[in-house]
Amino acid sequence: MPGSANSTWFNSYHPYQDHLQFLSDLQSQYPGNAELVTSGSSLQGNAITGIRFYGTGGRGSRPAVVFHGTVHAREWIASMVVEYFAYTLLSGYKTDDSIRALVDKYDFYLFPVVNPDGFLYTQSTNRLWRKNRQRTSGSSCLGHDINRNWPYKWDGPGSSTNPCAEDYRGESAGDAPETKALSSFLKQVKASQGLKLYMDWHSYSQLFMTPYGYTCDAVPANNDDYQRLAGGAVDAIRAVHGTSFQYGPICSTIYQAAGSSIDYVNDVVSGDYGFAAELRDTGRYGFVLPPDQIVPSGEEALAGVKYLLQNMKSQIESDLDMCRDVRLACVNN
């Protein structure tokens, strides 16, 4: 029934329409701190729906935190974990001082399912479908891999030119409607309030990753800071249930992957931080993670997120680091 979002939601997986209802119910329980948002539409016209929430100062007054889940349709645990974040942060806002401090500091945009067409297909036809449902001219195979389609370092190693491949990069950079919508939304958020943290949630492999995916021969200028944060997040995750995550740049930690959202956010949108996480497990169940692992997955992932939110450098600290690095470079030269 409407208005009844509660912790029992995380006891099982759910049909797509029920996810939309859950977000609506959750928002209705916290009307002063939350609103439903969309970041555009999918190929088949499904709204890419999320929930936005904020604390003291109101919406738009703080730097943004944006989470994407289930860009790969079969990764159901990602949608549940992103919703676990939303539920826990909203329900704890008035009772937990540590949560209130985080929600007051940032403006959150959480999108549990950014590939709704593919997600629906996993529920009706093929549980292990990965891509969206886009047609490619001259091919009978459907689907573009949204996370190889972002218009930065597109068509490089780790993406396929074969429309039948799981990692097909599309016919042109950013030609997936979902990619266009998501990239436009991220640029808009960055321009209007700043993008402090972007995270793309996947499964499986238990990894916590930083840029870059397109190459193993380069890292961002603030890579030391990235690795400090990723290492701390992994430690925080392990402290909850003993689950071990590995961390490092995407290319060297999992595989080379051109056209990813993380590289795009880091170098094009210029968000302060962008991470990709691969949730449980390491292969026993793979994409079909049992529902009794939803809550522990959410609990440990939230611990990692809290670490990031509490330990990311402020803009002033980042600027000071940059000035110091410039001075050192001048001295060394």
Q: What are the structural domains of the chain? A: 7-332 (3.40.630.10)
Answer whether 266's CB lies under 8 Å from 65's CB.
no
Count other Cβ atoms within 10 Å, centred on residue 8: 8
Beta strands in 223-300 (DSSP E): 246-249, 273-279
Residue 84 banded pLDDT, cuts 50, 70, 90: very high
Q: What sign has the CA pseudo-torsion 115, 70, 119, 8?
A: negative
Predicted pLDDT at 318: 66
Q: Say yes or no to pLDDT of 1 above 80.
A: no
Answer whether 256's CB lies under 8 Å from 157's CB.
yes
**Residues labelled as active-site residues:** 278
Q: What is the pTM of this model?
A: 0.94
What is the CA angle 319-101-185, rounded to 5? 65
Q: What's the mean pLDDT in 141-145?
A: 99
Residue 59 banded pLDDT, cuts 50, 70, 90: confident
Predicted pLDDT at 314: 81
Q: How far apart are CA 227 and CA 208, in angstroms?
A: 10
Count other Cβ atoms within 10 Å, centred on residue 330: 8
